């Protein structure tokens, strides 16, 4: 499986944020006899948390600020 790029993660995060906005405007509505019910907010917020974390991690790697490690000598 190919790695997810920073740009892909940012695009997914933007989709989840847009979905949250749409749910806040109305969870369910009817147009021309058809009903649309959006996914539960908890699933969207979980997605935002996941993609936000991935964007932060990939951004840190891209700027050379990967995970830091503490190394102590064994005296």
Delimit the domains of the chain by residue range. 6-61
| 39-51 average pLDDT score | 92
CA gap 43, 15 in Å, rounded: 13
State yes or no: pLDDT of 70 exceeds 80. Answer: no
What residues have CB less than 8 Å from 20, skipping those under 6 apart? 41, 44, 45, 48
pLDDT at 45: 94
Tens digits of residue pLDDT in 9-35: 999 999 999 989 988 888 787 889 998
Per-residue tokens: 56: 């932060």
H or E stretch covering 37: strand 34-37
Predicted structure pTM score: 0.69
Average pLDDT score, the chain: 85
Specify the pLDDT at position 74. 65
Tokens of 12: 């997914």
């Amino acid at each position: 499986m190919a790695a997810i790029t920073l740009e892909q993660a940012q695009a997914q995060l933007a989709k989840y944020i847009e979905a949250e906005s749409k749910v806040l405007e109305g969870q369910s509505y009817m147009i021309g006899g058809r009903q649309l019910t959006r996914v539960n907010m908890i699933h969207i917020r979980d997605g935002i948390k996941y993609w936000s974390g991935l964007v932060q991690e990939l951004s840190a790697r891209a700027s050379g600020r990967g995970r830091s490690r503490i190394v102590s000598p064994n005296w």
